[in-house]
Amino acid sequence: MKVLSVVGARPQFVKLAPIDHAMREAGVEHVIVHTGQHYDPMLSDVFFTELGISAPNVHLGIGSGSHGAQTGSMLTALDPILDEHQTDWVLAYGDTNSTVAAALSAVKMHLPLAHLEAGLRSFNRRMPEEHNRVVTDHVADLLLAPTEVAMGHLAHEGLAARSVLVGDVMTDVLLSARDRVSQRNSSLFGDLAGPGEYYLATLHRADNTDDPERLAEIVSALAALDSPVILLAHPRLIAKAASHGIELARGMLHPHAPLGYNDLVAAALSSAGVITDSGGLQKEAFLLRVPCTTLRTETEWTETIDLGWNVLAQTHSEIVAAVTRPRPADTEAVPYGDGHAAQRVVAELLDRAR
């Protein structure tokens, strides 16, 4: 069997790692196409190196742009690559512009398409990720769902016959990283804050960064917290804060460069709490049993809320109250699978290859 994976943005490299390992173990021929949506070394190369992912076979070098320009350039570049490789499966990951480009290119080339992390829904049509995942699910031949909730959404949209529950591949990566980093003493932030004495924050969604008032309210809430907040600043946040004239380094708030995966897990594990608008980090916090505050009006990962480990917060006072809330009750629940989702994905692909 031959599978072609299309990836391009940071969270997709994390998901690719266990899939690439499982493909290699199963003797599957695996072609990796990197669209180039993320190109900064700390958003891309560091994941390939740290997580032992095979080097991409093809790099499209697309880079940044408006949604249409970026997605369109990917489509143009993908057609000849998919045509050349004629794989048994094209595998699309998650919900970025690279995902929807892979999906459209594959179906138009009549190549079987599988969607990893299918069935997630925010029901927020303002999110670019929501269009990307809905479109990809509806054109894919095989929907690889991470959770029962995702399976329910797919069934509700008439897609049950093409759906299979495999678990969450991010759990596979997280559990092995947790074991690696738990051995080492996390003193990533030097004199600024020791273990348990800081909050770890990330912020990159357009809904939070692009409106100056919204960004200013979040920044002022984080600056007013009771412990240092280490803000791992995505380039989009740096650019938007500068153009809105919003100073990120103030009060308790300390901007910091993005971290590689192992350092991120170590930093989250040693923190007093995570504050984020990232989907992946909400789940990682839950799996590490670190309380999470999510700076959004909704989340796709509803299990984290239902189990008490994640709270949604929008306004200044909601953010302060959520971050400083008491630690939730412990839970043994495993809504995100057993850490072997990638092997299940490869088995499903092998089973259904033409």
Residue with smaller CB distance to ligand UD1, 88 or 117: 117
Residue with smaller CB distance to ligand UD1, 112 or 146: 146
Which among 311, 266, 279 has a CA at the least distance from the CA of 292?
311
Binds ligand UD1 by CB under 6 A, chosen from 72, 128, 152, 260: 128
Task: Using alpha carbons, list the distances in angstroms from residue 85 to 31, 65, 104, 111, 295.
Answer: 8, 27, 16, 10, 41
Q: Which amino acid is at 299?
A: T
Q: Is 204 a catalytic residue?
A: yes
| Minimum gap (Å) between residue 113 Cβ and ligand UD1 | 18
Cα–Cα distance for residue pair 304/310, rounded to 1 Å:
5
Q: Of 204, 234, 256, 316, which one is the catalytic site residue?
A: 204
Would you list the DSSP string of 74-132? HHHHHHHHHHHH--SEEEEETTSHHHHHHHHHHHHTT--EEEETTT-----TT-HHHHH
Binds ligand UD1 by CB under 6 A, chosen from 27, 29, 52, 64: 64
The set of residues, in sequence order, having a beta carbon less than 8 Å from that of 103 and lying 6+ positions away, is 92, 113, 115, 135, 136, 139, 140
| 9 interacts with ligand UD1 by CB under 6 A | yes
Q: Which stretch binds ligand UD1 (CB under 6 A): 17-25, 95-103, 110-118, 297-305?
A: 95-103
| 37 interacts with ligand UD1 by CB under 6 A | yes
| Minimum gap (Å) between residue 12 Cβ and ligand UD1 | 8
| 35 interacts with ligand UD1 by CB under 6 A | no
Cα–Cα distance for residue pair 147/5, rounded to 1 Å:
21
Enumerate residues 140-159 that contact ligand UD1 by CB under 6 A.
none
| 239 interacts with ligand UD1 by CB under 6 A | yes
| Residues near ligand UD1, by CB under 6 A | 9-11, 37-40, 43, 64, 95-97, 128-129, 204, 234-236, 239
Which residues have a catalytic role annotated? 204
